[in-house]
Amino acid sequence: MTNEAVKHFKQLKQPSYDRNQLTTRIVHIGCGAFHRAHQALYHHDWLEHSNSDWGICEVSLFGDGRLIRQLREQQHLFTVLEKGSEKRTAKLVGSVCQSLHAGTDGREAILETMSDDNVKIVSMTITEKGYCIDPSSGRLDRSHPLIQHDLAHPLQPDSAIGYIVAALRRRKEQGSRAFTVLSCDNIQENGKAAKSAVVEFASLIDADLALWIELNATFPSTMVDRIVPAATQEMYLELQEIIGEPDPCGIECEPFRQWVIEDSFADGRPNWNEVGVEFVSNVVPYEEMKLRMLNGSHSFLAYLGYLAGYDYIFETMQDPHFRVATFNLMTREQAPTLDMPKGTVLETYALELIERFSNQSLKHRTGQIATDGSQKLPQRFGDSLRFHLQHQSNYQWLALGVAGWMRYVSGVDEKGQEITINDPMADTFNAIYDKHGLSANVVPELLAIESIFGSDLKNQHGFVNTVTSAYQRLLDVGAAKTVMTTQK
């Protein structure tokens, strides 16, 4: 590292480890805000503790490559600003030692790096839609444009799945060991989802390769937890004020963080447990707890809060009716569906989440959380609804959450203003609303989308009626009054 790089961010504590010794041993696909504030920071803390040579190579497959260029300009250093209700802490992260962008550096540079024997882990934060899977079946979506391209051109992939298979093919051909594929996305049993997509894709181009991947690569599931709002100009200015210079790669987040990982690695791993990561034999209970109680509540607040006129999550929590509704959703409708390890107190977890959602220092936009709902609802609401339908128990808040999503994807808010719907199924929603207008007639057709609701929920007449009633209530009196008057 040059002297110029050492002087950069001079007001912050510099990494104590020798960054010149870092070697790319982890390739991370999807250099987004969450990764920088979570895995990269955990790894930085571990490097401080261990003085290891394990470095991270950031890979961006899409976009204009601006973030990668900015990272390189500051020698891959960036700031994470942890913001609590009363305290702000800026940390300089140095765990990244390399970066690649598909458009700038080309596919070959990425595949060559992923195929290097030094790389032990390929991790990813590519969001639910990046796996190119059908949420209702968990199978590879063979009709997805990226998958169709990669099946036709397997040596020149575009998708993350295509890159992983192409790199594993090279590993097999050169007689190297397989790497671990480590999913860090909010998908239930994300390791199984990644494995299903990778192995099925491989089987479509080379059965022997698919078998080799099955036998040699590992796909541990993980649970990741930290609230990381999208970066804003206000955040960049605040960060510059704190550290004394601009950091276009900086990000803000809450102080809380958690990472639970299934301990199944093909060729070694960092001892992240030394800095608070939990390695367990079964991640599923932790995943389900987070997906349903945290992420499910976030979606509930995002759709209904946005419709009620709240820009930020903390603002919805200042509304006592939303606060009570969120607690009831978590404790009465999500918690009963969970089977947690002994000693887990879900009411305590719910209270912690209420306080985290109420953190006024974090400007987490409702509109940001509302994106890609078609990919999120199955994990956050679907199985909980099926549990209550089977046990004939109350699910009024879950139904209202579904109705809130339906009202949101109409593309028009309660003041008649346009909502920009960022969702891979936006065209489908538009077609349904073009047909029926803003009326409860959209409910059956939206519930008939099997990739979101499966083939069963549309046939549960009591459920359909409950969602329809909630949707009509949203049309009649709006989100704020619906939340206020729904039975507590």
User: Which residues, in sequence order, are CB contacts of 71 under 8 Å at separation 6+?
Assistant: 31, 58, 78, 96, 99, 249
pLDDT tens digits along 171-228: 999 999 999 999 999 888 999 999 999 999 999 999 999 999 999 999 999 999 999 9
Q: Given a cut of 50, is residue 2 above it in pLDDT?
A: no
| Residue 309 shares a structural domain with residue 393 | yes
Unique residue bearing structure tokens 């796996």 = 131
CA distances from 258 to 137, 276, 277, 337 (A): 29, 8, 7, 22
| Residue 254 shares a structural domain with residue 148 | yes
CB-based burial of residue 236 (10 Å sphere; 0-12 exposed, 13-18 middle, 19+ buried)?
Answer: middle
Whole-number pLDDT of residue 349: 96
Phi, psi values for residue 326, rounded to 5°: -65, -45
Residue that terminates a domain, selected from 280, 311, 345: 280
Q: Given a cut of 80, is residue 399 above it in pLDDT?
A: yes
Dist CA 226 CA 383 (whole Å): 23
Whole-number pLDDT of residue 1: 39
Query: Would you tell me how many other CB atoms lie within 10 Å of the CB of residue 105?
Result: 17
| Residue 349 shares a structural domain with residue 250 | no
Count of structural domains, the chain: 2
Whole-number pLDDT of residue 487: 66
Whole-number pLDDT of residue 187: 87
Instruction: Give the lowest-confidence range in 82-91, 427-436, 460-469.
Output: 82-91
Radius of gyration of the chain (CA): 23
Dist CA 159 CA 200 (whole Å): 14
Whole-number pLDDT of residue 291: 94
Whole-number pLDDT of residue 137: 76
Per-residue pLDDT band at 4 (split at 50, 70, 90): very low
CA distances from 429 to 401, 439, 455 (A): 17, 13, 18
What SS3 string covers the chain?
CCHHHHHCCCCCCCCCCCHHHCEEEEEEECCCHHHHHCHHHHHHHHHHHHCCCEEEEEEECCCCCHHHHHHHHCCCCEEEEEECCCCEEEEEECCEEEEEEHHHHCHHHHHHHHHCCCCCEEEECCCHHHHCECCCCCCECCCCHHHHHHHHCCCCCCCHHHHHHHHHHHHHHCCCCCCEEEECCCCCCHHHHHHHHHHHHHHHHCHHHHHHHHHHCECCCEEEECCCCCCCHHHHHHHHHHHCCCCCCCEEECCCCEEEEECCCCCCCCCHHHHCCEEECCCHHHHHHHHHHHHHHHHHHHHHHHHCCCCEHHHHHHCHHHHHHHHHHHHHHHHHHCCCCCCCCHHHHHHHHHHHHCCCCCCCEHHHHCCCHHHHHHHHHHHHHHHHHHHCCCCHHHHHHHHHHHHHCCCECCCCCECCCCCCCHHHHHHHHHHHCCCCCHHHHHHCCHHHHCCCHHHCHHHHHHHHHHHHHHHHHCHHHHHHHCCC
Residue that terminates a domain, selected from 225, 249, 280: 280
| Residue 73 shares a structural domain with residue 158 | yes
Q: By residue range, what is the domain housing residue 205? A: 3-280
Q: Given a cut of 50, is residue 411 above it in pLDDT?
A: yes
Per-residue pLDDT band at 135 (split at 50, 70, 90): low
Per-residue pLDDT band at 88 (split at 50, 70, 90): very high
Whole-number pLDDT of residue 367: 96
Mean per-residue pLDDT, 462-481: 98
Unique residue bearing structure tokens 């990919």 = 375
pLDDT tens digits along 275-334: 999 999 999 999 999 999 999 999 999 999 999 999 999 999 999 999 999 999 999 999
Dist CA 248 CA 141 (whole Å): 36
Q: Given a cut of 80, is residue 114 above it in pLDDT?
A: yes
Q: What is the CATH number of the domain that holds 393?
A: 1.10.1040.10
| Residue 268 shares a structural domain with residue 303 | no
Q: What is the CATH number of the domain that holds 99?
A: 3.40.50.720
Look at strands 121-124 and 180-183 and give their pairing: parallel
Whole-number pLDDT of residue 10: 83
| Residue 253 shares a structural domain with residue 391 | no
Q: Given a cut of 60, is residue 5 above it in pLDDT?
A: no
Q: What percent of the chain has pLDDT over 70?
A: 98
| Residue 443 shares a structural domain with residue 315 | yes
Whole-number pLDDT of residue 488: 55
| Residue 310 shares a structural domain with residue 258 | no
Angle at 381 between CA 440 and CA 408, to 5 degrees: 40
List the 54-60 sheet strands across, edge first: 96-101, 54-60, 23-29, 121-124, 180-183
| Residue 85 shares a structural domain with residue 207 | yes
| Residue 82 shares a structural domain with residue 206 | yes
Dist CA 28 CA 76 (whole Å): 14
Whole-number pLDDT of residue 262: 98
pLDDT tens digits along 357-374: 999 998 899 999 999 999
Q: Given a cut of 90, is residue 85 above it in pLDDT?
A: no
Dist CA 135 CA 452 (whole Å): 7
| Residue 348 shares a structural domain with residue 449 | yes
Q: Given a cut of 70, is residue 423 above it in pLDDT?
A: yes
| Residue 225 shares a structural domain with residue 304 | no
Residue that terminates a domain, selected from 249, 280, 311: 280
Dist CA 450 CA 50 (whole Å): 48
8 Å CB contact between 372 and 422:
yes
Whole-number pLDDT of residue 86: 86
Whole-number pLDDT of residue 138: 78
Q: Is the dihedral of CA 103, 108, 109, 113 positive or negative?
A: positive
Closest CA relative to residue 401, chosen from 391, 390, 388, 392: 388
